[in-house]
Amino acid sequence: MPETVVVSVGGKNVQVPVGTSAAVAAIIAGEHCRTSVGGQPRAPLCGMGICFECRMKINGKVHVRSCQVICTDGMEIAVDD
């Protein structure tokens, strides 16, 4: 069994393998990352920190590119925030 960490995505606790990015944790939790200014749900596009579509509030910091952050135990990832 791979080692796992537990993070909270939009208030839901999800268990993810060590090394998982916050963006992927959102996908595992079945959540999109943000809602666009026109009201569309958006999820990761580039996966490498360019497009900012995966930006989320992580541990209280807003507009963090979740694809560039590795999940740590107890991390709080907020959707649409």
Partner 1 sequence: MINVAQFACDVAVIGAGPAGIAAATVAAEAGKSVVLLDDNFGPGGQIWRGGKPSDKELAAMQWLGRLQRTTARQIFGASVFQIQGNQLAAETLHDAFCVSFKKLVLSTGARELFLPFPGWTLPGVLGAGGLQALIKAGLSVAGKRIVVAGTGPLLLAVAAYAREKGATIVCIAEQTSWTRFAEFGLTVLCSGQKFVEALKLLWRTRGVPHWKNSWPVAALGRAGVESVRIARNGKQREIACDLLACGFHLAPSTDLARLSGCKLEGGFVAVNNLQQTSNPDLFCAGESTGIGGLEKSLIEGQIAGYACAGQLDRARDLAPARAATQRNAESMKRAFALREELKFLSEEDTVVCRCEDVPFGKLRKHASWRSAKLQTRCGMGPCQGKVCGAAGEYLFGWETSTVRPPVVPVTCSSLAAFSASGTSESIEGGLQ
Instruction: Tell me how far apart the alpha carbons of residues 71 and 29 are, in angstroms, rounded to a whole number.
Output: 13
Residues 21-80, interacting with partner 1 (CB under 8 A): 21, 23-25, 27-28, 32, 36-38, 40-53, 55, 58, 61, 63-64, 67-70
Q: For residue 24, give the H/E element and its range.
A: helix 22-28
Closest CB 32 distance from partner 1, rounded Å: 5
Handedness of CA 22, 30, 34, 60 (dihedral sign): negative
Binding site for partner 1 (CB under 8 A): 16-17, 19-21, 23-25, 27-28, 32, 36-38, 40-53, 55, 58, 61, 63-64, 67-70
